[in-house]
């Protein structure tokens, strides 16, 4: 084999040795940094998983509290009667063609906090609702903060109109403007079905 010219010099040999040591040190440093990065990523994944579990628990607790409150309100309405006929009032809304630039006018009087109202959301004519479960989410019109939701709902027919219904307690419908989203209830694969709006004003209970 032909010898590389100049490599027999001690200075050149030490230069190559130094370069090799530097490369080894850089490689070791990168390996340590990569290991730390992997450890950090796993830690973040575990924290994210725990946060999701806690969020699911919180949503479940809120749902149970809402169901218990609505059940209590329904029982109270049955015992006291709602109005002269003892019938739970209804709030029927039609799907929007498009969201307005301004909040909806207040057309609904504020119910009493313990009053139970049956919310009725008319389904779009094109919606195929057979075997589908839905979720209703009520949010503030300005800001979009969620104030109430209910899932696992099946459609029904009232007066030949297809709709999704749910009981909602009066303390949710405080004076203000609301937007209501109807989606399919399929976990992470939920699909928007329709949107609704309603404005609530202070009712005159004299």
pTM for the model stands at 0.60
**Cα Rg of the chain, angstroms:** 31
Terminal CA-to-CA distance of the chain, rounded, Å? 110
42 pLDDT tier (thresholds 50, 70, 90): confident
177 pLDDT tier (thresholds 50, 70, 90): very high
Q: What does the pLDDT read at residue 101?
A: 84
- The token duo for 199 is 């404005």
- For the four alpha carbons of 62, 64, 65 and 70, in that order, the dihedral sign comes to positive
Instruction: Give the phi and the psi of residue 35 in degrees, each rounded to 5.
Output: -65, -40
Q: Which of 196, 185, 197 is nearest to 155 (CA)?
A: 185
Question: Count of residues for the chain?
Answer: 206
Residues in Cβ contact with 73 at an 8 Å cutoff, skipping those fewer than 6 apart: 114, 115, 116, 167, 169, 170
Chain-centroid distance, C-alpha 128: 23
Task: Give pLDDT tens digits for 125-168.
Answer: 888 877 889 999 999 998 888 999 988 899 999 888 999 999 98
């Amino acid at each position: 084999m032909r010898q590389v010219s100049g490599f027999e010099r001690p200075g050149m040999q030490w230069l190559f040795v130094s370069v090799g040591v530097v490369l080894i040190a850089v490689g070791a440093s990168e390996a340590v940094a990569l290991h730390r990065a992997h450890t950090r990523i796993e830690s973040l994944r575990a924290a994210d998983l725990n946060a999701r579990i806690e969020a699911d628990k919180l949503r479940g607790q809120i749902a149970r509290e809402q169901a218990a409150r609505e059940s209590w309100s329904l029982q109270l309405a049955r015992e006291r009667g709602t109005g002269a006929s003892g019938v739970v009032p209804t709030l029927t809304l039609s799907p929007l063609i498009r969201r307005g630039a301004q909040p909806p006018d207040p057309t609904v009087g504020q119910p009493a906090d313990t009053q139970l109202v049956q919310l009725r959301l008319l389904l779009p004519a094109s919606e195929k609702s057979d075997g589908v479960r839905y979720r209703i989410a009520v949010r503030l019109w300005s800001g979009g903060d969620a104030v109430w939701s209910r899932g696992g709902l099946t459609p029904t027919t009232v007066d030949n109109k297809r709709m999704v219904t749910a009981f909602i307690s009066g303390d949710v419908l405080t004076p203000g403007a609301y937007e209501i989203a109807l989606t399919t209830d399929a976990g992470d694969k939920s699909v928007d079905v329709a949107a609704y709006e309603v404005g609530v004003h202070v009712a005159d209970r004299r």
